[in-house]
Amino acid sequence: MPQRTPIILDVDTGIDDSLALLYAAGSEDAELVAATCVFGNTEAATAARNTQMILELAGRGDVEVALGCEQLLHRPLRTAPETHGPLGLGHAELPAPRGSLSPRSGPDLIVAEARSRPGEITLITLGPLTNLAVALEREPDLPRLLGGYALMGGAYRASGNTTPTTEWNIHCDPDAARAVFRAWGAAAATNPAVSRPLALGLDVTEQGIFLPSHLERLTVRAGAANPIVRYMTDALRFYMEFHERYDGFYGAFVHDPMAVAATLDRTLVRTEAVHVDVETSGDLTAGMTVADWRHLTGQAPNLDVAVEADASTFLDRLIDRIGGLAVARSGMAL
Ligand code: RIB
Ligand code: CA
C-alpha cells in the first residue's frame, strides 16, 4: 500500500474540480480528508451540492463537505456559467445528495484539521483563495500547521484566461490571493520548516488537454453505461463545446486534477522558486500574478511555480485512476 498523503481540496466545483475530486477518490496515495467549497465557477452553495454529488458518485459520501465563503472579501461576486453550465456540471445531471453538509464552515474546517494534525495535511485550493484567506485571519500560524499547500491558480509567464493578464481563480479574489502569498512568504522567511506553496498556473495546466480520444479510452475501460463514465461524458461535452467556442479546439483544459496529481507526485512538474505578488488595483491588471523572474524586487521567493509538466503522464494517470474508480463502482448502487 503506497504512503497516503492527507489532503483537503478547496473547490468551486465546476467541471474540472469534479475531475479533481474523482482523481483524488481514485488515488491510493491520497487520503481525502475533506472538501471545502467556495464561490467561483458557480455560487458556493451550488459548488457544495455539486461536490457532495460527485463524492457520492465516487462512493465517497463519507468525506466531509463544508460550505465556505459565498462572497468575496471586498469585491462583487462573479461566476462562470458559460464555462461550466448554469449549475456548474455542464450537461450532467446527478442524483440529489443524500448526505448533509458539515456543520463547520470551510475556513473553520481548514483551521481545525490543521491544528488537530499539525504538519500532516496538504491543502490544495482549486478555486478562489477566499476560504484560505479567511482561515489565515483566524489562524495566522496555518503555514506551519499545514504540512503543505498547493494551488491551481495564476499565470506566471502565460497569458490570462479571464483578462489578458489574469487567471480565473486569482482574478475572482485578488485580495485573498495577495494575503495568502504574502503570509506564506513571511512564514517561510522566518521558519525553515514552512515549504513554499506549489503553484500550478495556466503555464502548465493548459498543457493538459483532455480530448474525445481520452474519453474513449475511459469508456473502453469502464463501459459507456458506467455512472462515472456517463457523468464525464455529459459534463465534458459542455466543457469541450465551451473550449471549441473560446479556444478553437474541441477538448478541455483539465486544470484542477493536474494540481492534485502534481501534489501527489512532484515529479510530474518542474518548478522554479520565485517571488510572486498579486496586483489588486490596476484597471487593466487587477488579479495579475506578478512573478519576479529577474529578482528585481530583492524579495525572497514565496512560491514554487511549475514551469514544465509531463502532461502525457498526467493524462494517462487521470484515465487510469478515474477508470479504476469507475470499474470499482460498476454495478454498485449510486
Ligand atoms: O482558470 C482555471 C481555474 O478556474 C480552474 O480551477 C477552474 O475550475 C476555474 O475555477
Ligand atoms: Ca476550480
The structure's pTM equals: 0.97
Instruction: Write out the chain's pLDDT in tens, 334 residues.
Output: 779 999 999 999 999 999 999 999 999 999 999 999 999 999 999 999 999 999 999 999 999 999 999 888 678 888 888 888 888 898 899 999 999 999 999 999 999 999 999 999 999 999 999 999 999 999 999 999 999 999 999 999 999 999 999 999 999 999 999 999 999 999 999 999 999 999 999 999 999 999 999 999 999 999 999 999 999 999 999 999 998 999 999 999 999 999 999 999 999 999 999 999 999 998 999 999 999 999 999 999 999 999 999 999 999 999 999 999 999 998 665 4
Secondary structure percentages of the chain, helix, strand, coil, to 5:
45, 15, 40
Rounded CA separation 316/310 (Å): 10
> Can you list the pairs that 18-21 forms with residues at least 24 positions away whose Cβ atoms lie under 8 Å?
18/50, 18/54, 18/89, 18/231, 18/235, 19/210, 19/232, 19/254, 19/256, 19/257, 19/318, 19/322, 20/124, 20/126, 20/256, 20/257, 20/259, 20/260, 21/51, 21/54, 21/55, 21/58
Q: How far is the CA of 99 from the centre of ligand 1 (A)?
A: 26
Rounded CA separation 297/163 (Å): 25
Q: How far is the CA of 168 from the centre of ligand 1 (A)?
A: 6
* pLDDT recorded at residue 334: 47
Helix/strand/coil for 54: helix
Helix/strand/coil for 182: helix
Q: How far is the CA of 69 from the centre of ligand 2 (A)?
A: 14
Pocket probe for ligand 1: among 255, 263, 288, 289, the residue whose CB has the most ligand atoms within 8 Å is: 255
CA 205 to ligand 1: nearest atom: 2
User: Can you say how many angstroms the Cα of residue 270 is from the centroid of all Cα atoms in its chain?
Assistant: 19
Enzyme catalytic residues = 255
* Ligand 1, CB within 6 Å, residue ranges: 12, 14, 16-17, 40-41, 126-127, 152, 161, 167-169, 255-256
Instruction: Answer for the pair 181, 153: CB distance below 8 angstroms, yes or no.
Output: no
* pLDDT recorded at residue 331: 67
User: Can you say how many angstroms the Cα of residue 184 is from the centroid of all Cα atoms in its chain?
Assistant: 18
Rounded CA separation 232/144 (Å): 37
C-alpha grid cell for residue 217?
Answer: 479510452
Q: Which ligand sits closest to the CA of 9?
A: 2
* pLDDT recorded at residue 124: 99
**Nearest-5° Cα angle at 150, 236 to 61:** 55
Q: How far is the CA of 82 from the centre of ligand 1 (A)?
A: 13
- Atom 10 (ligand 1) nearest CA: 127
Pocket probe for ligand 1: among 11, 77, 126, the residue whose CB has the most ligand atoms within 8 Å is: 126
CA 168 to ligand 1: nearest atom: 1
CA 162 to ligand 1: nearest atom: 1
| CA pseudo-torsion sign 262, 266, 271, 275 | positive
CA 259 to ligand 1: nearest atom: 6
Bridge partner list, 278: 289
